[in-house]
Amino acid sequence: MTDGWFVGVDPDDVTTAAERVRSGRADGPEAWPAQAVEAGFVDDETAYYDRLKAATTAAATAAVREREGADDKQLVHAVRAMADCEQTANELAERVAEWAGSRYGESGSGIEYARAVAARTDAEDADQALRSLAKQTVAVADEADALRAYIERTAPAVAPNLSMLAGPVLAARLVSLAGGLEALAKKPSGTVQLLGAEDALFAHLQGGAPSPKHGIIYTHEYVRGTRPADRGSASRAFAGKLSIAARIDHYSGDRRPELAEELEERIETIQSRGGEDA
């Protein structure tokens, strides 16, 4: 008899059973239900399948929890939370500015103006309500800054080469858009080039819109700082190195400074030419 996952396992110990299911292997199929009955693990085959379902469900749940707890997943959550906080703070700041304009007859905008409103000492109820909103706006903006600082500390440890080339925040955003470092590592450079430009790409595929040359990587100076006529070339060069960096980060994790040197040379070549697109 070939030992099955149930051998030596307490029928009520789902945790151990799940670990056996996750770590065990067999060279081929066996009459596992009959063997489980013969071994005294269960009374009949129906009970065996009930135990197997419980074990496999627990094994899948444990695997999902481990994956969600991985460092790159924490980075994904952090960068998405930062984006939410930034968007919320900016929207609230607009509301504060509009409300304050009606109260004080002055113009202002942005988070810094919300800070100024939060620091006022007017005593009327409306002023106190406005000041409370301004304080909440500032708190959300400060939380976004704290999350950015966390990302800048964490991303280089999770994706050292990607962070070296793109900077920690852009690296984290790319990982987030891809759904994780492994997913990013498996994407071709052309897909990496257009991450964040999905709406523009769909509009192009449906007809009537130009093909996008870049997605979120446009925020990097290598792309944004290149002449419009050459941005396609810069985007392709940048995305190609980012793809390589993501694969190295996922599969080996060793830092490769030569990637940055090669990319810088390539971008300098593109930016120094006469403006023709490649």
76 within a domain of the structure (yes/no): yes
Which of the listed residues 68, 86, 110 is the one where a domain comes to its end?
Answer: 68
Cα distances (angstroms) measured from residue 93 to each of 72, 82, 120, 233:
31, 16, 15, 38
Provide the b/e sequence for 193-219 (b: ≥16 CB within 10 Å). Answer: bbbbbeebeeeeeeeeeeebbbbbbbe
140 within a domain of the structure (yes/no): yes
Which tokens go with 162?
């990607």
6 within a domain of the structure (yes/no): no
Residue pLDDT, tens place only, 178-194? 999 999 999 999 999 99
277 within a domain of the structure (yes/no): yes
Give the domain extent around 30: 14-68
Q: Domain containing 81 — which CATH number?
A: 1.10.287.4070
My answer on whether 170 and 271 are in the same domain is yes
Model confidence, pTM = 0.71
Residue 214's pLDDT band, with cuts at 50, 70 and 90, is confident
Q: Report d(CA 90, CA 202) in Å as an integer.
A: 28
For the chain, what is the domain count? 3
Which of the listed residues 40, 68, 96 is the one where a domain comes to its end?
Answer: 68
Residue 258 has pLDDT above 80, yes or no: yes
Which residues, 6+ apart, have CB-to-CB distance to 151 below 8 Å? Answer: 75, 78, 79, 82, 168, 169, 172
Give the residue from 194, 196, 181, 195 showing the smallest Cα distance to 245: 181
Residue pLDDT, tens place only, 63-112? 766 555 458 889 999 999 999 999 999 999 999 999 999 999 888 999 99
Give the residue from 160, 167, 223, 164 showing the smallest Cα distance to 197: 223
Maximum Cα–Cα distance for the chain, whole Å? 87
7 within a domain of the structure (yes/no): no
Backbone angles phi, psi at 175, to 5 degrees: -60, -40
Residue pLDDT, tens place only, 19-41? 888 888 877 888 889 988 988 99
Question: Would you state the pLDDT for residue 60?
Answer: 81
Residue 130 has pLDDT above 90, yes or no: yes
